[in-house]
Structure formats: C-alpha cells, structure tokens
C-alpha cells in the first residue's frame, strides 16, 4: 500500500531583543544560571508585566516578510499549567487574537520546483526557563535556570501542507533564512534560538481523510528534525500495516541516541484554561507603524538571491546558497566589493571559509577571518600576487590571527613571481640542469608527454620556492619544450 | 494627638507644636497598648518608623517638606514593603520579605510619610469579614464581638481605633468601602488605573485598586494626592494628571444631581441602614442638591458575575505560590506533584482554596463560555447601566452595605450570605468606577456607611461631596468607646 505523509510545523523563534518580553532583564545567552532573571521573571508577588515594543515590531516584521495579515489589535492570554520552570504558573501567550494572521512561505525543492506552505498564524509569547535534571545538574536534585524565562518568542504555525522530510527541512531552512535576513532572530540553532515541533500523520495515498497525528516537540537541528520525521513516518506506517492504530500523543526525540519516545497521550493532556491576561492591554499596531516597518524591512532571501544573479553574475546555485543565509550573504557582499571579484569571493566564502567554519562549529558572524580580510586575500589572487596554493596558506595565517593577507604575504615572503623574463630564465635554468629529463620527454610518445610536465613543474616550483606563477610557468615550459622537439 | 485628623496633624507638625518623632512614638505606644484588643496590625515596624520620623523632622526643619512629611500611616499587608514581611494575610507568605517596594509604598515614602506597620486582612484579600486571615480575625472597635468587614478590616479597625490617622487599603469588590462603613470611617476606592498596582499582591487583576482610608474625606484627599500616580511598571495604570484633590474641596453641593438607584434600596437592606442613608440624602437635598431616582437594572447580576471573574483571575494569579521559589513549602515532598499539592493545601486557607477551585472550574474547557464568557458580557451591561445613569446625574448614592457589622461566625457556614455583603459595592469594581464610603449614622450603636459613586476619574468631585457632607454632619467625628480618650 502506498502512503501519503502529512506534516505541519510549529516553530518557536527567539526574538533578538536585548531585554525580555515583559521585563528589563537581559536575554543574552550563556550567563550563569539565574543571573538574568529579575523579580518579574521570578514571578515575585505584586510584580507586573510591561510589553517590550521591540518584540511587537519584530513580530510585525515577520508578518510583513511572509506577506501575512497583521493583527492590528492582538491580545495576550494566560495559558495555565504548573511546572517549576514556569514561575507564574501560566505562560503569557496569544490565542484568539494573534499578532500575525495567515501568510505564505515558498520553498524550493531539490528538483528545482517550488511549493507554497501556508502559515496559519504566528503569535507572540514568553519562553519558559530550563529545568536541569539529573545528569545536567546534581545527583538526585533538579535545578531550575530562569535566565531564559521571559525571552520573547514568536510561534509560527504552518498548515499541514508539508508532505515529506525534505519539504519540512526546506521549509525550516527558509524560515531560518527569513528571520535571520530581517534580523529578528540570531538563528543560533545550538542555543535554541529556533526550535521545531513536528506534527506528523500518514494516510493511504490519495485519501481525503487525515490520519491520527503525533507531535514531536522541541527539535533544535535540521538534521534531528529530518531523522525524526523519517523515523516517525516509518513507525506509523509499520504500526498501521501491522494492524495497529496511531494514538494521538506528544513525543520526544533524542538526537544523540536517535531514540524517540512517547511523552504523554491526549488523555493526559492539560486543560490550559486560557483566558485574556488582565495585566496587559490589547496590543494596537497602527497603520503608520506597519508602513514604517514595511519601508525599513531588510531585503528578503528571495529578492537577495535574484539580485546576486543580476548584480554579481552568480550562478543560480551560488546565489541560492549565499542569498539564503543572511550571514553568508552579508559576508560575501563585503568580500566581493573589497576584492572586485564576485566569482572568486563567492567560491572562497562557500568553499574554504564555510568548510572551515563548519568543521570548527563557528557561525559566520564569529568568523576569525573577517569579510574584509577575505576580500583582501581574493584581491591578491586576482592581481596574481599569489597562487591559489599560496592563498590557502595565507588564509590559514589570517585564521590564526596573524594579520591581513598583505601582512602575511610580506612576512612570509610569499610574493608570487609573475615577471615573464625572470620566469623564462628560471625555466631555461631548470631545463639545462636536467638534461636527462629533457631527453626522456623528447623520447616519449606525444600522447604521454603531457604527464611528464609535472616533473619539470616540481623542479621549477622548488627552484622558485613555490613563488612562480604556475599558469605562466606552464605556458613558458610548454613553449620551450616544444622548441626542443 | 490621636484624635486629630491628618490635616490637623500636618498643621501641628508645620507649626512645630510637636515633632514627627513625638507623634510617631505616640501612635506606636497606642498600638502597643490597644492593638492586642483589635488584632488590626500584623507587623509593627517601630524602629524603621522612628528613623523615618527623625528624617522627616529634619526635612520639616529645613522647610519645603512634602505634604505628608512626618505623618504616620499604616499599609495594608498586601502592599510589598522592601525588607519588611508582606504576608497578604496568608500562611503562604508568612516568611516572605520582598526586596522591592510597591509603587504606593514608594509614593508615600517620597511624600515623607512614616510607616508604623502592616495591617491585618482577609487572606489574599478574599473575604468580607477579616475572618479568613492566617493571623486571626480583627475585632471591630465599635463592638469587639463583631467583624470589622473585609478584606481591609485591619486598616479600617486601626483607623477607627485611632492607632493611625490613615491607612492604605485595596478594593476588589468592596474591600475598602465595606470595612470603612462597618468601622465608621471614610474610605475611597479610586477609578481603576488611577493608583498603580505594582507591588500590590494581585487578587483579581482587572478589579483590584488601591485607595486610602482615613477619618475624613479631606484626609482621604490628602492621601490620594500622594498615592495616585502614573506608573509605567503597571500597564493598566492610566497616564493622566493627578489633580490637587484638596484644592477641589471647597465647592457647595447646590445643584448637584444625586442619582438614587432603586435597586440599592431593595429587600435585604437593613431598615436602620436605609433610614440613615435616606436621612443623609435629605440633608444634602437641604443643601441644594437634587435627588434623582435612577435605575441600575443589572445590579442583581453583579454578584454572580463577580464571583466568576474574580475567582477566575485569582486562580491564575495565585498559581505562582507553588512552594518552588518563595513562600511556604511543605515538609519532605515526595515528588513534584506532592510538593505542589501539599504546599498549596497547607499554605492556603479554606476560602482561598474555594475561590481557586471556583475559578479553575469556570475557566475549564466546556464551561468557559457559560461562566467566564457570560460574566464578561454581564460586566459590559453593568458598565452601560452606569454610563447611562451618569448622562443625567453627577454622582450616585446609596448604602455601602446591607447592614451594620455582624457577629463573628454568623456568616461563616454560608459563603453566599457573605458574598451578598458586597452587593452594593461590587458593581463599581466591575465598571471600574470610583466609590467612597462615608459614615452617615448609627444602628444599634454601630456605624452605617453612605456610598458615593462617581464617574470615571471623578475622585475630586466625590471627595468634595463627601467633604461637604462632613461639614454639616458629625458622624465621622464619632469614636468607639474608650478610643478617643
């Protein structure tokens, strides 16, 4: 039997505000536990929330980016449940009147086709703190870190328009690209800046009736999400084909152990008893505010991608890789402008730099090689000062903090010799000193002679301490050997 | 000195007749002698008071001291006081010492007032008799077998017993006006949003409002001038200039249109109370005021609507008291569930638990619309009743409560009978209007309160009307036996 997969995503995006959604405490990541939680975050008696305007603006910007209806009057509600990392005993969130209404996100698939994923709505809410259980904390004791409590989030809820893990990843990456491009989220997945809840169900191919869905919560990497969806689809199909039924439940997936498990069933689900929060007024967003945010909305990934093709002559592939990542895009543009060679700047950004950053798990924003520095390096490749091989050595030097490309070239004496007179002399000297190799070359079949060139190249590069311009040497060598035939 | 009003004490301090230290010591001595008879005060802050008084004396000596400089007052134990236990009348917060001041506390501190201590109250302000306090009930100074009313019974009894010339209080459904009436003093509940709720421990956020209690309307005007302010820490606080309430006290009542709602004189109203109120109205008519019969047709719905909305909000507001972060925690919890349920079962009293259960029920899935949704609609009807009434009248008058102070335990078994104590006061909270209670007679040697309700932000007008009434009557000067000497 053939099966269709139906997936809907709920995406929590931490907004990049300096302070929390209802208090003045800092949202910076990584501080000592409970050092960034003020009386409001701790839900001390008598404290009251005051809405962070920046968080509202960021949410509206997201709405504009996905061409959604903006809720001109949205409202906060209380979602009631007890948990130690939820200090008030309720989460302040939006339900009936979210700030962002229906919208659309277009995704690109590997085969080049596009698909529209509808957004049901996006709402503003506060994040909870973190519970540190055994293993993360002390034996037999659970700890609570409330630094994250009150960090502003938007929760983006998609329609169940996604039909595969591939589409889900494309959608997630597109959202990542949008929120980082407009600057409302730092996109640091490993720090929990974006977290995904995945609703999955299967149905017989072509059927109109949706199957029972499960929800897997809190996935914080694209890879884990993909694994989790693939496994969950498989599990559901196996279950049904073996005569069982899928039960509606909330599940957890452990990306490290690759094990998924049930957290709670529908029967155990909380009655959250939502009601309007009496401590907060309705959030009014005026047309003027919307228009101002629209005017100042940073470039969106799709537009940027098109511009990269148009303005820099990049291939569609390069433009999509660079254009979809706000950090890479900014980096690339600086390097391209500094060096004057977009193509080389693109290659270096996507190649050497991206690989190195990836290996060391560093985000491009924290790259040890700045965009200006990479631009300087590319400049020296373009003007033939250094060879591609030397460039890699210079890159390592910049990475290690030894200074700019020019400083390293100077310090290490890496200047490439491109003076044709000097190179001709060098080739002549090497040929003269290696008569046996020359004879061997002459006596070799024409078809195989090309292979022998490498030996001469090695000698010449050695003689020049690697500084001879290889392309030029190649031409001179071929010419001189031809003359000897 | 304790027989003087705040206005008179201000004169005494400014004319150097006595110092703030002398005045403060006098009241501290009275509290030491008499409070055991009434149990009106939970915490006495003698040391801080004398220090503040000495500082006030310096400011007074230096000239241009603020209005209430050196005047001793008491705070209801619902207002957070930095470094001083704030119990809210509950075992839950018996060990809670806030690291911050309520805005109201801060405002009085800025005005130079001297805080003598914290007054007893119904637990979390839930009660109309002060019998629900963890610290025991408060005795009515007029008859120590009777209740002082609630929830601000401690503040009312303290002012009536002249343990302080004024006290702060809060009113969610009548908690300032009803105890003021039962203790024969003057109390004002301002318009919702006039006084900051920051640091005032929440019962029902959309109804709670702080206000002053004193012996005269003039003293309430002096206190409200200090107490009211715009506060950006409370999103529901309204940014509107605070008028000089004392300056507005000189206008006669000639031509004043007094609305008399027929619903406030229906069955259930004590005969003596009705007579006292009618006499008061006649007295004002003699002064040129016009009595206009009006109808507030939805008055009967106010008690049921209130007992849905207030418990619903309370059920969420009190979730933060979970034994995790501060306050009472049960001994040796077995697990998280046990920690929650026993901390709350042992830390909260019966009435608080009853209201949490009512509120939780009303918000539950399947009941929300029938209870909370309906109650919100009723709330709008009640608001409209008042809006319509204020098209034809300047103020509305009637009894504050159905009968004078009742005996301890007389309504203990019947929560609904207790809830009906607030039948005339609750509607103004639901509408957010300002209301006062002014002594207007005696029944069986117990005081009767006249309620004066004003339009939104019309505190100056109702204070003036009350003041004019007190210029021609002496009910507010009466003292319980043994108190004045």
pLDDT digits (tens, 9 = 90+) for B330-356: 999 999 999 999 999 999 999 999 999
Per-residue pLDDT tens digits for B1-42? 999 999 999 999 999 999 999 999 999 999 999 999 999 999
Per-residue pLDDT tens digits for B216-267? 999 999 999 999 999 999 999 999 999 999 999 999 999 999 999 999 998 8
Residue B319 has its nearest CB partner, among A39, A44, A88, at A88
B77 to chain A: which residues are within 8 Å by CB? none
Answer yes or no: is pLDDT of B116 > 80.
yes
pLDDT confidence of residue A481: 84
Residue A281 has its nearest CB partner, among B236, B313, B319, at B236
* Residue ranges per structural domain of chain A: 3-289, 299-400, 420-484
Query: Rounded to an integer, what distance in angstroms lies between the CA atom of residue A198 and that of residue A217?
Result: 6
Contacts of A281 (CB under 8 A, 6+ apart): B235, B236
Nearest to A181 by CA among A352, A316, A300, A16: A300
Cβ separation B234–A48 shorter than 8 A: yes
What phi and psi values does residue A474 have, to the nearest 5 degrees? Answer: -55, -50
Cβ separation B322–A42 shorter than 8 A: no
Which residues of B are identified as catalytic?
76, 151, 175
Task: Tell me the nearest-neighbour CA distance from A304 into chain B, angstroms.
Answer: 40
3-state SS track over chain A: CCEEEEEEEEEEEECCCCECCCCCCECCCCCCCCCCCCCCCCCCCCCCCCCCHHHHHHHHHHHHHCCCCECCEECCEEEECCCCCCCCCEEEECCCCCCECCEEEEEECCCCCEEEEEEEEEEEEECCCEEECCCCCCCCCCEEECCCCCCEEEEEEECCCECCHHHHHHHHHHHHHHHHHCCCCCCCHHHCCEEEEEEEEEEECCCCCCCCCEEEEEECCHHHHHHHHHHHHHHHHHHHHCCCCCCCEEEEEECCCCEEEEEEEHHHCCCCCCEECCCCCCEECCHHHHHHHHHCCCCCHHHHHHHHHHHHCCCHHHHHHHHCCHHHHHHHHHHHHHHCCHHHHHHHHHHHHHHHHHHHCCCHHHCCCCHHHHHHHHHHHHCCCCCHHHHHHHHHHHHCCCCCHHHHHHHHCCCCECCHHHHHHHHHHHHHHCHHHHHHHHHCCHHHHHHHHHHHHHHHHHHCCCCECHHHHHHHHHHHHHHHC
Per-residue pLDDT tens digits for B1-11? 999 999 999 99
pLDDT confidence of residue A410: 84
A42 to chain B: which residues are within 8 Å by CB? 325
Query: Rounded to an integer, what distance in angstroms lies between the CA atom of residue A219 and that of residue A200?
Result: 14
* Average pLDDT over chain B, rounded to an integer: 96
Per-residue pLDDT tens digits for B261-286? 999 998 889 999 999 999 999 999 99
B360 to chain A: which residues are within 8 Å by CB? 273
CATH number of A420-484: 1.10.10.410
More confident residue, B127 or A446: B127
Per-residue pLDDT tens digits for B58-89? 999 998 899 899 999 999 999 999 999 999 99
Cβ separation A278–B232 shorter than 8 A: no
pLDDT confidence of residue B117: 98
pLDDT confidence of residue B346: 98
Instruction: Identify whether the C-beta of residue A352 lies closer than 8 Å to the C-beta of residue A399.
Output: no
pLDDT confidence of residue A137: 67
pLDDT confidence of residue A273: 97
Nearest to B483 by CA among B155, B33, B6: B33
Say yes or no: B324 contacts chain A, CB-CB below 8 A.
Answer: yes
Nearest CA in chain A to B360: A273
Q: Using 50, 70 and 90 to split pLDDT, how confident is the model at B416?
A: confident
Q: Using 50, 70 and 90 to split pLDDT, how confident is the model at B411?
A: confident
CA contacts within 13 A on the Cβ side of A249? 14
Say yes or no: B205 contacts chain A, CB-CB below 8 A.
Answer: yes
A49 to chain B: which residues are within 8 Å by CB? 235
Mean pLDDT per 10-residue run, chain A (485 residues)?
95 98 95 95 98 98 98 97 96 97 95 94 97 74 92 98 97 96 93 96 94 95 95 96 94 91 81 97 98 97 95 94 91 95 95 93 91 94 84 93 90 79 85 86 82 83 80 85 81
Say yes or no: B97 contacts chain A, CB-CB below 8 A.
Answer: no
pLDDT confidence of residue B130: 95
Say yes or no: B345 contacts chain A, CB-CB below 8 A.
Answer: no
Task: Tell me the nearest-neighbour CA distance from A89 into chain B, angstroms.
Answer: 5
Say yes or no: B315 contacts chain A, CB-CB below 8 A.
Answer: yes
Domains of chain B, start order: 1-485 (3.90.1300.10)
């Amino acid at each position: 039997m053939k099966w269709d997969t139906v997936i809907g995503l709920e995406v929590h995006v931490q907004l990049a505000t300096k302070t929390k959604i209802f208090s003045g405490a800092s949202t910076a990541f990584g501080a000592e536990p409970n050092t960034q939680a003020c009386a409001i975050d701790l839900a001390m008696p008598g404290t009251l929330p005051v809405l962070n305007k920046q968080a509202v603006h960021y949410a509206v910007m997201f709405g504009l980016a996905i061409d959604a209806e903006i809720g001109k009057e949205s409202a906060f509600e209380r979602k009631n449940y007890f948990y130690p990392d939820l200090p008030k005993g309720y989460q302040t969130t939006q339900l009936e009147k979210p700030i962002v209404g229906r919208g659309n996100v277009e995704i690109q698939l590997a085969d080049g086709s596009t698909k529209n994923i509808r957004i049901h709505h996006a709402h503003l809410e506060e994040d909870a703190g973190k519970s540190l259980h055994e293993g993360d904390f002390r034996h037999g004791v659970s700890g609570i870190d409330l630094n994250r409590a009150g960090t502003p989030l938007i929760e983006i809820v998609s329609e169940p328009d996604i039909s595969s893990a591939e589409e889900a990843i494309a959608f997630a990456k597109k959202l990542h690209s949008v929120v980082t491009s407009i600057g409302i989220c730092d996109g640091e997945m490993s720090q929990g800046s974006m977290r995904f809840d995945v609703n999955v169900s299967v149905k017989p191919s072509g059927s109109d009736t949706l199957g029972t869905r499960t929800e897997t919560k809190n996935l914080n990497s694209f890879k884990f999400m993909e694994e989790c969806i693939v496994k969950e689809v498989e599990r559901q199909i196996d279950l049904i084909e073996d005569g069982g039924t899928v039960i509606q439940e909330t599940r957890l997936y452990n990306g490290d152990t690759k094990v998924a498990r049930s957290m709670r069933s529908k029967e155990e689900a909380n009655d959250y008893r939502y009601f309007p929060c009496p401590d907060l007024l309705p959030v009014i967003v005026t047309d003027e505010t919307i228009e101002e945010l629209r005017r100042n909305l940073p470039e969106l990934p799709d537009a940027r991608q098109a511009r990269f093709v148009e303005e820099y002559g990049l291939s569609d592939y390069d433009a999509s890789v660079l254009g979809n990542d706000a950090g890479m895009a900014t980096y690339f543009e600086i390097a391209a402008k500094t060096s004057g060679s977009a193509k080389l700047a693109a290659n270096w950004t996507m190649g050497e730099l991206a690989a190195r950053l990836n290996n060391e798990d560093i985000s491009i924003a924290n790259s040890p090689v700045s965009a200006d520095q990479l631009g300087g390096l590319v400049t020296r490749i373009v003007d033939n000062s250094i060879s591609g091989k030397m460039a890699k050595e210079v890159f390592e030097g910049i990475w290690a903090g030894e200074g700019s490309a020019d400083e390293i070239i100077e310090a290490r004496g890496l200047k490439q010799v491109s003076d044709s007179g000097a190179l001709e002399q060098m080739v002549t000297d090497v040929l003269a000193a290696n008569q046996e190799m020359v004879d061997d070359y002459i006596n070799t079949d024409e078809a195989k002679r090309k292979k022998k060139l490498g030996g001469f190249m090695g000698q010449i590069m050695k003689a020049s301490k690697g500084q001879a311009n290889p392309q030029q040497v190649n031409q001179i060598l071929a010419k001189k050997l031809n003359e000897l035939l | 000195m304790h027989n003087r009003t705040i206005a008179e004490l201000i004169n005494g301090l400014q004319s150097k007749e006595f110092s703030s230290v002398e005045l403060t010591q006098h009241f501290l001595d009275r509290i030491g002698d008499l409070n055991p008879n009434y149990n009106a005060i939970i915490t006495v802050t003698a040391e801080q008071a004398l220090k503040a008084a000495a500082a006030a004396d310096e400011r007074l000596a230096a000239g241009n001291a603020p209005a209430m400089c050196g005047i001793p007052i008491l705070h209801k134990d619902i207002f957070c006081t930095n470094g001083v236990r704030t119990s809210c009348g509950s075992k839950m917060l018996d060990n809670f010492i806030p690291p911050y001041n309520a805005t109201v506390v801060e405002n009085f501190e800025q005005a130079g007032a001297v805080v003598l201590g914290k007054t007893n109250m119904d637990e979390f302000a839930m009660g109309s008799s002060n019998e629900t306090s963890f610290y025991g009930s408060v005795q009515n100074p007029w008859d120590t077998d009777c209740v002082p009313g609630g929830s601000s019974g401690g503040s009312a009894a303290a002012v009536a017993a002249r343990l302080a010339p004024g006290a702060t209080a809060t009113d969610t459904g009548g908690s300032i006006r009803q105890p003021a009436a039962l203790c024969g003093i003057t109390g004002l509940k301002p318009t919702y949003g006039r006084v900051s709720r920051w640091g005032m421990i929440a019962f029902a956020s959309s109804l709670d409002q702080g206000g002053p209690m004193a012996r005269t309307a003039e003293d309430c005007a002096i206190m409200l001038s200090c107490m009211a302010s715009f506060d950006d820490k409370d999103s529901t606080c309204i940014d509107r200039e605070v008028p000089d309430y004392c300056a507005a006290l000189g206008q006669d009542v000639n031509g004043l249109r007094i609305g008399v709602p027929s619903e406030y004189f229906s069955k259930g109203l004590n005969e003596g109370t009705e007579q006292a109120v009618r006499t008061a109205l006649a007295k004002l008519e003699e002064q040129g005021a016009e009595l206009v019969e009006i109808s507030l047709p939805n008055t009967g719905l106010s008690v049921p609507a209130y007992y849905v909305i207030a418990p619903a909000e309370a059920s969420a507001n009190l979730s933060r008291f979970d034994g995790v972060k501060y306050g009472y925690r049960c001994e040796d919890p077995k697990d998280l569930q046990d920690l929650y349920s026993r901390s709350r079962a042992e830390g909260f009293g019966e009435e608080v638990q009853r209201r949490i259960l009512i509120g939780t029920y009303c918000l539950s899935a399947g009941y929300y619309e029938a209870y909370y949704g309906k109650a919100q609609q009723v709330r709008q009807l009640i608001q409209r009743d008042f809006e319509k009434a204020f098209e034809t009248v300047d103020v509305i008058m009637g009894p504050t409560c159905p009968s004078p102070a009742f005996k301890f335990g007389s309504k203990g078994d019947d929560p609904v009978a207790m809830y009906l104590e607030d039948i005339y006061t609750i509607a103004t909270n639901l509408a957010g209007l300002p209301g006062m209670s002014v002594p207007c007679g005696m029944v069986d040697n117990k005081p009767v309160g006249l309620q004066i309700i004003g339009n939104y932000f019309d505190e100056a007008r109702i204070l003036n009307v009350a003041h004019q009434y007190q210029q021609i009557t002496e009910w507010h000067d009466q003292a319980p036996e043994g108190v004045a000497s």
